[in-house]
Amino acid sequence: MEHTVVSASKFNAWFGDNHVVKDVSIGIEKNQVIAVMGPSGCGKTTFLRCINRMHELIPGATAKGSLKLYDDEVYNMNPIYVRYKIGMVFQRPNPFPNLSIYDNVVAGYKLNGLKMAKADLDNIVEKSLTSAALWKEVKDSLHKKGTFLSGGQQQRLCIARAIAMEPEVILFDEPTSALDPISTSSVEQLFHELKENYTLIIVTHNMQQAARVSDKTAFFYLGELVEFDNTKQMFTAPSDIRTQNYITGRFS
Amino acid sequence: MDARIGIRNTKSMLFKGLIVFLAFLITLPLIVVLLYIIKQGVTQVNWHFLTHVPTPVGEPGGGIANALVGSLLMVGMASVVSIPVGILTGIYLSENPHTKLAYWSGLCVDVLQGVPSIVIGIVVYLWIVKPLGSFSAIAGSCALAIMMLPIVIRSTEQTLRLLPPSLKEAALSLGVPYHRVIIKVIVPCGFAGILSGIMLSVARIIGETAPLLFTALGNSYLSYAVTKPMESLPHVIYTYATSPYDDWHNLAWGASFILLMFVLILNITTKLITRKWNIQL
C-alpha cells in the first residue's frame, strides 16, 4: 500500500439546500494520476474544489465530513496554507493579464509578498516552465505579458504557476476543455511527466482522456462516488451497472 | 426578387445616411462652441494673465491667478478625499453586489449622482459654512468632493465587475489572501478604467459653479488660506461675464478658454490612458 495523500470519508457538500456531493469516501495515493469523470452536474467539480477549499468561496456553499491531506483535516487548516499545498489549474487558462510570463510563474510568491533573491526566482521560473514543457517556447520572451501566448501555452503557463509553489497535489478542473486537440495532447503528455513529482487529480468530461492519462478513475453520478478503481479495470470490466451504462454511452 | 433586394438596399442606405447625418449634426454645434470660445479666449491668455489677479474696472491688465490657484487647490483637496473613499466603496460594491448594504449604498450613489449641484451647495452651506461662520475653500472642496464621489464609485465598480471571476480564483488558488488579491490583482487589472473614471470626475467638478456659490464664494485676491473664501475658475467666469464692463468680459473669456483647455486635456489624457494601459483579458 502506497502512501495516501488525499483521503475523504463520508464527505458531503452543498450549495444552499442543494446536496451536490454525497457521502464520498476515497483514498488517493501519492504520485498517481486520478481521473474524476461523470455526467454534468454530478458533483465532480464541486468535490475537486472542496479539496483546496475553493468551494466555500461561493456564497451559500457548505461542506461536512472528513477530508484529509496526509493526516491533517483540510477543513481545520488555514485555507491559505491548504492552497499552498494543493495547487489548481482551471478550465479556462487564466494567467494574470497584468503580469509578464516570468511574474505569472512566480505569482504565488510575488502576490503573497514573499521576498526572494532574484537568482532563486530565476531558478524557479526555469524549473517550473521546463516541467510544464513551455521553457523552450518562451525563454526569449519571459517579460512579455502572459496573455500574448496561445490558449494551450497559457494553460501550460498556468500549470507552471501551480508547479512553482511545489504543491503536494495539483487539481485540474477540465483542463483541456477550452483547448484545441494539439494543445490538448501536449497538456496530456505533461500529466505523465508531472506524476513523478506530484499527485494529479483531473476532472474530465472526456472518457477517452480519462482512459489515456489516468492510473485510477473515479466515477461520480448524482453526487455519489459510484466506483473508484484502476482505470483499465474500470473501462474493461466496471463493477457497477451505472458505470457501465455511462462508459458505453447509454447516458451522459 | 431583384426588385425587393433593391428596395432593401435603399432602405439600408437611407438608414445609414440618417445616422451619419445625425452624428454630424450633433458634432457641429460642439465644434462651433469650441471654436468660438477659443477665438474669444485665446487672445486674452498670456503669462501676465495667468500670474496676476484681476484689476479694478478701468485699469488695464489683470489676470486670473487667484481663480487658477483656487480651482486647483479646491479640486485637489476634493480629490484627496473622494478618490480613496470612492475606489474603496467601488471595490465593496463590485465584490459584494448582493448584500443589503450594497443595495442601499448603491441606491444612495445613484441618488447622489442625480442631486442638482446647487442643492449640494446649499447643504454644505448649512453644514459647514454656517457653523464655521465664514465662506471657505474647505466648504467649497467638500461640495466638490460630494459631486465627485458617485462618479468615482460607479466607474470603479463597473470596471471591476467586468473582470472575469476566474482571475480572482487564480489568485486565491495560489493561497493569496483576499486583501492581497484585491490590491495586487483586481485593482491593477482594472487600473485603466478606475483612472479614467477619476479623470472624468475631475473634469466634471472643475467646471462646477453652483456648489461653490454658497461655499467658497469667491475672492478678488490671491489667497491660499483654506478657511477663507477662495476664487475659482467657473466662479470668476460667472462674476465677470455678468458684469457690465468689456474688460471684465474679456477676462471671463480668457478664463473660459483656460477651463475648456483643462477639460479637453483631461479627456484626451483619459482616452490615451485607456488605450495604452488597457489590459487584454
Can you give the CATH number for the domain in which A175 is found?
3.40.50.300
CA angle A139, A144, A147 (to 5 degrees): 110
B173 touches chain A (CB under 8 A): yes
CA A109/CA A218 separation, integer angstroms? 33
B61 touches chain A (CB under 8 A): no
Cα B234 from chain centroid? 13
Question: Which residues of chain A are within 8 Å of residue B166 when distances are taken between CB atoms?
Answer: 90, 92, 94
Is residue A85 predicted with pLDDT exceeding 70? yes
Q: B279 to chain A, minimum CA–CA distance in Å?
A: 6
The CA–CA distances, whole Å, from A181 to A63, A74, A91, B236 equal 36, 35, 15, 68
Helices and strands (H, E) in chain B, number of each type: 14, 0
State the residue range of the domain holding A168: 29-49+78-247
Q: Compute the average pLDDT of residues A231-237.
A: 91
Q: Has residue A41 been placed in a domain? A: yes
On average, the pLDDT of chain A sits at 90
Task: Clarify whether residues B182 and B272 are in a common domain.
Answer: yes
Confirm whether the ipTM is greater than 0.90.
no
Question: Could you report the per-residue pLDDT of A8-24, keeping only the tens digit for each?
Answer: 999 999 998 999 999 99
Residues B170, A95: C-beta atoms closer than 8 Å: yes
Task: Clarify whether residues B36 and B81 are in a common domain.
Answer: no
Residues B175, A107: C-beta atoms closer than 8 Å: no
Task: Clarify whether residues B210 and B107 are in a common domain.
Answer: yes
Task: Clarify whether residues B152 and B251 are in a common domain.
Answer: yes
Q: What is the CA radius of gyration of chain A?
A: 18
Task: Clarify whether residues B189 and B60 are in a common domain.
Answer: yes
Structural domains in chain B (count)? 2
Task: Clarify whether residues B91 and B200 are in a common domain.
Answer: yes
Is residue A147 predicted with pLDDT exceeding 90? no
pLDDT of residue A2: 56
On whether the CB atoms of residues B86 and B113 are closer than 8 A, the answer is no
Q: And the C-alpha cell for B235?
A: 466662479
CA B231/CA B265 separation, integer angstroms? 22
Q: And the C-alpha cell for B26?
A: 450633433
Task: Clarify whether residues B123 and B154 are in a common domain.
Answer: yes
Return the SS3 of A27.
strand
CA A33/CA A193 separation, integer angstroms? 10
Q: Has residue A89 been placed in a domain? A: yes
Residues B174, A83: C-beta atoms closer than 8 Å: yes
Cα B155 from chain centroid? 12
**Closest residue of chain B to A163, computed from CA coordinates:** B174
Q: Compute the average pLDDT of residues A226-238.
A: 91
B180 touches chain A (CB under 8 A): yes
Task: Clarify whether residues B164 and B33 are in a common domain.
Answer: no
Q: Has residue A16 been placed in a domain? A: no
Structural domains in chain A (count)? 1
Q: List residues bridging with B111 in a β-sheet.
A: none
Is residue A1 predicted with pLDDT exceeding 80? no
Confidence of residue A129 (pLDDT cuts 50, 70, 90): very high
Residue A226 phi/psi, 5° resolution? -80, -45
State the residue range of the domain holding B209: 49-277
Task: Clarify whether residues B103 and B169 are in a common domain.
Answer: yes
Q: What percent of chain A has pLDDT over 70?
A: 98
Task: Clarify whether residues B26 and B76 are in a common domain.
Answer: no
Residues A87, B164: C-beta atoms closer than 8 Å: no
Task: Clarify whether residues B98 and B174 are in a common domain.
Answer: yes
Tens of pLDDT along chain B (281 residues) come to: 677 888 999 999 999 999 999 999 999 999 999 999 999 999 888 888 888 888 887 787 788 999 999 999 999 999 999 999 999 999 999 999 999 999 999 999 999 999 999 999 999 999 999 999 999 999 999 999 999 999 999 999 999 999 998 999 999 999 999 999 999 999 999 998 999 999 999 999 999 999 999 899 888 888 888 899 999 999 999 999 998 988 889 889 999 999 999 999 999 998 888 887 777 66
Q: Has residue A3 been placed in a domain? A: no
Residue keyed to cell 447625418: B21
Q: Compute the average pLDDT of residues A142-168.
A: 91
Cβ neighbours of residue A171 closer than 8 Å, sequence gap 6 or more = A48, A49, A51, A52, A86, A87, A88, A89, A201, A203
**What is the CATH number for B193?**
1.10.3720.10
pLDDT of residue A251: 67
Task: Clarify whether residues B10 and B111 are in a common domain.
Answer: no
